[in-house]
Amino acid sequence: MSNKLESLGNAIMDKRTLIAILVIAILWRAGISSDGRIALWESECSGIALFIMGWVLFAYIYSMSRGLKGWLELNKIYRWIAISLAAINVYVIVYYAMRWYRLAGMGGVSESLVPYDFLFRDIRYLLLVLFYCVVIWLAKYLKKVHGDYMLLFKEPPKV
């Protein structure tokens, strides 16, 4: 089971997979923004995708920090990355909750819109996806650093 999870993790951390995620995000936003308006269901799909991606990445990074033994510095790096991810994920929750509330037509909500607001929403979405992809890509190298450290400082076998 551990090998399957590790091979799945390696497949996700592959550069081609991350590029595919970015291309899908670009095509998704281009498709839903073509008319200049975003419906509630389109916003829900975007928000849920970011929510799942962000919190799964947070859980992965945090579990990596819990699994590290023997190198406090790398453990701290992983924890601070996890805290940063949690902050970004809370932002995503708050942003999309406010957005869905307005799109659902709840009364008493007024929002000032800037010209080309749909463009700013697209840029925000793509930057969040890019951020998550970069964190996934960098996590691969942090894991490799820990593996190299353990290999260098492992005690020689006793005869």
User: Is the pLDDT higher at 129 or at 152?
Assistant: 129
The yes-or-no verdict on residue 140 having pLDDT over 70 is yes
For the chain, what's the residue count?
A: 159
Q: Assign residue 44 a region: left if phi > 0, alpha if psi is -120 to 50, beta otherwise?
A: alpha
Percent of the chain with pLDDT over 90: 18
Identify which of 77, 24, 82, 80 has the alpha carbon closest to the alpha carbon of residue 56.
82
In tens, the pLDDT along 111-129 reads 566 667 778 888 899 999 9
Cα 97 to chain centroid distance, Å, stands at 18
In tens, the pLDDT along 60-104 reads 888 887 777 667 777 888 889 999 999 999 999 998 888 888 777
Q: Cα separation of 141 and 13, whole Å?
A: 10
Please give the single-letter amino acid code of residue 122: D
Global model pTM greater than 0.85: no
